[in-house]
Amino acid sequence: MAAASPSDVLTLALIQADLVWADPEANRHRLEQLMEQQPGVDLHVLPETFTTGFLGDEDAADDESMGTGPTLEWMRAQARGREAAICGSYVVVENGRRHNRFVFVDQTGECLGHYDKRHLFGPGGEGQRYTPGDQLTLIEWHGWRIDLQVCYDLRFPVWCRNDRDFDLQLFVANWPSPRTSHWQALLRARAIENQAYVIGVNRVGVDGKQVPYSGCSLAFGPVGETLLELDDSESVAAVELDRRALESYRTKLPFLGDGDSFTRRV
């Protein structure tokens, strides 16, 4: 496939959904309805585990593979039909191992890459049933360099460090209401320290374990300025990101070049 032409401005739709517990078909249908509310965007960002909700240590849904599962085919069809990229995480089983996998599909339906959640949420039992990822993933699309991260990864700044020159960092999440203030503060911190756009898309509602989620999906600019903030209701909203503004800020204050050099351990 020919490389996509560079774009100075990207428009993203944040899809803040009230997910149905362990019902992939119902969630895919609902997400289609929500994406209809923001036509004409470049990228739809769905929450973490968007087909099931955060199962953690539960075995509440059928396993699906990357190659033959219905969710990837659904993402491809939705992307082609909307002429927009789609990304989000769902549960994938590969070589007998279960992963919380963040998948990015471009507007032609091609899967450009995926990221397996590195930091598994121990208090929720995720580490008991899932295998952590061991590789960071950088998607190059429309001339933008996009870093993929999932929920709990947000708490670990070394893993999220911008030593790979990314422009945009995406976090998809099922982040519970009692720690909403942490969600807000950490997303802003990642934007400031990485001099990058940072988007966090969270779910709303109450899951099958009676855990509440307050949404509060957010978009921050590289100075830490709030570009978009959603409330605690199911909603969809779009935000525009300007790469020229990002490059101007980095040129004026090149903080990233003064960072320490070290190697991550996996």
pLDDT digits (tens, 9 = 90+) for 67-118: 888 999 999 999 999 999 999 999 999 999 999 999 999 999 999 999 999 9
CA distance 263 to 158: 9
Q: Decide if 151 is catalytic.
A: yes
Note the pLDDT tens digit of each residue in 2-13: 344 579 999 999
- Over range 226-244, report the average pLDDT: 98
Selected residue with higher pLDDT from 263 and 234 = 234
* Identified catalytic residue from 87, 117, 160, 216: 117
Calpha distance 6→119 (Å, rounded): 32
Nearest 10 degrees: CA dihedral of 113, 25, 23, 229?
60
The span from the CA of 146 to the CA of 60, in Å, is 32
Catalytic residue among 48, 126, 160, 216: 48
The SS3 of residue 34 is helix
Q: What is the pTM of this model?
A: 0.96
Q: Could you tell me whether strands 9-16 and 235-242 are parallel, antiparallel, or unpaired per DSSP bridges?
A: antiparallel
Q: List CB contacts of 248: < 8 A, sequence separation 6 or more.
A: none
pLDDT, residue 261, reads 85
Would you say residue 62 has pLDDT above 80?
A: no
Do 16 and 234 meet the contact criterion of CB atoms below 8 Å apart? yes
Who contacts 107 (Cβ-Cβ below 8 Å, separation ≥6)? 42, 79, 80, 82, 83, 84, 85
Neighbour tally for 8: CB within 10 Å: 14
The yes-or-no verdict on residue 220 having pLDDT over 60 is yes
Where does the pLDDT of residue 195 fall: very low under 50, low under 70, confident under 90, or very high at 90 and above?
very high
117 is catalytic: yes
110 carries an active-site annotation: no
Q: Is the pLDDT of residue 167 over 80?
A: yes
Closest CA to 241 of 222, 259, 260, 262: 222
* Residue 1: pLDDT over 70: no
Phi-psi region of 224 (alpha: psi -120 to 50; beta: other; left: phi over 0): left
Domains with residue ranges and CATH for the chain: 10-255 (3.60.110.10)
Amino acid at 38: Q
Closest CA to 22 of 151, 171, 216, 209: 209
Per-residue confidence (pLDDT) for residue 60, from 0 to 100: 67
Q: Please give the pLDDT value at position 5.
A: 56
Q: What's the mean pLDDT when you consider all of the chain?
A: 94
Distance, in Å, from the CA atom of 190 to the CA atom of 134, rounded to the nearest integer, reads: 20
Average pLDDT over residues 216-234: 98
Report the distance separating Cα 4 and Cα 163, nearest Å: 24
Select which of 25, 73, 87, 151 is catalytic. Answer: 151
Q: Residue 262: pLDDT band by 50, 70, 90 thresholds? A: confident
pLDDT (0 to 100) of residue 232: 97
CB 102 within 8 A of CB 148: yes
pLDDT level of residue 59 (50, 70, 90 thresholds)? confident
